[in-house]
Structure 1
Amino acid sequence: MKRRNFLKGSALIAGAAVAGQATAKVTPPDSEKEIYEWRVYHFKNGGQKNKVDGFYRDALIPAMNEYGVKVGAFGEYSQTDPPTVHYLLVYKSMADYHRVKKALWNNETFLKQAKSYFEDTAANGVYTRFETYLLEAFDAIPQLRQPDKSRGLFELRTYESNNEEAGQRKIKMFNDEELALFDKVGLHATFFGEILAGPQMPALVYMLWFNDMDERTANWQKFVNSPEWKEMSGKAEYANTVSVVNKVFLVPLDYSQI
């Protein structure tokens, strides 16, 4: 009986040790990594866009700033018609994202400032709908890098992968090697984020800034021709990580904080 109890106890201890080792390998979420909300608005005409501009500029952005949330506002470089407008909301953490979402609808100043916009657009919609992407910042660039005031052009890139594992390997490539090369050749990073929820998954999104299109073209050429890129892109561990690359060129609106 004693031997049986001893063996049983030993098995429990061993099992606990294994469980402890497995638990130790799990990395807790980094509370310092920012959460990004990327919104894309589609309109029927430019006049409708002006109403959303006013809502963000006069009501939503001031309210978000009270909670420490910075907001970027961007139009498309191609001047598409009907227009498309992009917004980037920068939260300090996932907990902060939830806190602000709840607090906003109890903010009397915000509700008063936005009252006429809500009443008008409830009866007469101004956008067809807007898309939302929720992103978590990469380990290698956990906080947004504020671009220089000279920025005149942004490049937004979405990299889709055929499965989740391939997407994680591409994120590792950026964290371990590629982002450092971006910095070296003048591909100025604004943010990098993994899509946690959105229409395109699995995928990652990042945004670069440039003074103009000429600088963008020249610096991408430096990247493509660099020996570092040729070496890392040939590594087996990074094979088949990206299936589709989507690019959008953006310009900052006059009330953008990024």
Structure 2
Amino acid sequence: MNPLLNYTRTLIIVTLLFTCIGHAQEKKREFYELKTYLIKNEDQENRVDNYLKNAYLPALKRQGIKNIGVFKVRQNKFTKADRIYVLIPFTSLDQFEKLEASIAVDKGHLSAGKEYITAKYNDPPYQRISSTLMRAFSEMPHMRPSQVSTPRSERVYELRSYESPTEATYKNKVAMFNVGGEVDLFESIGANAVFYAEVISGSQMPNLMYMTTYANMEQRDALWEKFFASDKWTALKNDEHYKNNMNKADIFLLYPTAYSDY
């Protein structure tokens, strides 16, 4: 065989192999856990804050987990600020599954979190904890921590949960974001998306969740007006293929704590 031809074929095969590996890595989608702490008063808020800041987040980081978001409710006369949200990214379900066992033997975690961990049954540091497990959308397989730089108290982190009437319509709504271009639309208006994800375990299924961020409420309102006025959204909402794929939207307006990673 011609040596040059043989070399060329080998080079093509190696190039294709690395290209395939690169695409596979690029398409590997992260998993997210959204933990929600329900609290009843300022004392519980302070105890959960102290635990998260000084024990839990440092323990997660020792496990190689980065970009952990901690958020609180932007209170107004219609909204009670009784929840703390913790958003944790995972590279795999295996990493998620092993986390609790790992921090259970983490001496730094046990020491810094002792008051929280050993709380008495009649004086708990929170009312309840709920957990939602998600998998990132194919069009945004990795979290993108927000680069919004205004004071944290002014920032708006908008967390949305879209419920669908059936599993089939839910898949259609996910496709509307990915194939239909809703993700691209948010990108085009500068909505600073942190994540888009399919809920794979939670209390409101079938549903998807996503988070966008804004410098302040004025920018948030202006960008949503731009979203709804866009030709792309007009085409999407009038497309018969995507009709009736959502029947409930929960909207949570949040801000990041001082110890949140972003």
TM-score, normalized by the shorter chain, greater than 0.5: yes
Equivalent position SS for 2:143: coil
Match among 160, 164, 167 for residue 163 of structure 2: 160
- Spell out the pairing of 1:213-224 with structure 2 (5 A cutoff): 213-224=217-228
Is 1:134 matched up with 2:133? Answer: yes
**1:180-231 CA distances to partner (integer Å, 9 max, x unpaired)?**
0111112221111111111100000100000001111111111111111111
Q: 1:100 offset after TM fit, Å?
A: 2.2
Alignment coverage as a number of residue pairs:
231
* Compared CA separation, residues 149 and 223, structure 1 to 2 (3 A): closer
Cα gap change, 1:160/1:81 in structure 2, threshold over 3 Å: closer, same or farther?
closer
Distance 1:122 1:110 in 2: 21
Shift of 1:83: 2.4
1:63 equivalent among 56, 59, 65: 59
Match of 2:18 in 1: none
- Determine whether 1:192 maps to 2:192: no
Stretches (4+) displaced over 3 A:
79-82
Distance 1:192 1:88 in 2: 12
2:236 equivalent to 1:240: no
Tell me how far apart the structure 2 counterparts of residues 82 and 247 of structure 1 sit (CA, whole Å): 14
* CA offsets 1:106-140 (integer angstroms, 9 cap, x no match): 22221222223212354511211111111111111
Matched, 1:253 2:257: yes
The CA distance in 2 between the partners of 1:164 and 1:96, in whole Å, is 27
Aligned to 1:72: 69
Superposition deviation, residue 149 in structure 1: 4.2
1:225 aligns with 2:253: no
1:85-105 Cα offsets, whole Å, 9 max, x none, are 111111111122123232221
Structure 1 residue aligned with 2:106: 107
Contact 1:155 1:209 in 2 (8 A): yes
Residues 32, 68 of structure 1: CA spacing in aligned structure 2 closer, same or farther, 3 A cutoff?
A: farther
What is the rounded CA distance, in whole Å, between the counterparts of 1:39 and 1:101 in structure 2? 13
The gaps in structure 1 that reach 5 residues or longer are 1-27
Q: SS at 1:189's partner residue?
A: coil
Query: 2:119 matched to which residue of 1?
Result: 120
Q: Contact (CA 8 Å) 1:68, 1:91: kept in 2 or not?
A: no
Please give the alpha-carbon distance, in whole angstroms, between the structure 2 residues aligned to 1:211 and 1:32.
Answer: 30
The code of the aligned residue for 2:162 comes to Y
Counterparts of 1:117 and 1:186 in 2: how far apart (Å)? 40
- 1:49 is paired with a residue whose SS is helix
The letter of the residue matching 2:110 is L
Alignment gaps of 5+ in structure 2:
1-23
Query: Distance between the aligned counterparts of 2:224 and 2:120, measured in 1?
Result: 42
8 Å CA contact 2:116–2:125 kept in 1: the answer is: no
Instruction: Name the CA shift for 1:103/1:54 in 2 (closer, same or farther; >3 Å).
Output: same
Cα pair 1:46 1:82 within 8 Å, conserved: no
Kept in 1: contact 2:157–2:255 (CA 8 A)? yes
Counterpart in 2 of 1:143? Answer: 142
Higher-Rg structure is 1
Aligned to 1:25: none
Residue 33 of structure 1 aligns to which amino acid in structure 2?
R
Which range moved further: 98-107 or 209-218?
98-107
**2-structure distance, mates of 1:113, 1:53:** 12
Which of these residues, 29, 41, 44, is aligned with residue 40 of structure 2? 44
Aligned AA (2:218): D
Q: CA RMSD in A?
A: 1.9
Are 1:173 and 2:167 an aligned pair? Answer: no
* CA–CA separation in structure 1 for the residues paired with 2:168 and 2:192: 27
Whole-Å separation in 1 of the counterparts to 2:208 and 2:80: 27
CA distance 1:237–1:219, change in 2 (3 Å)? same
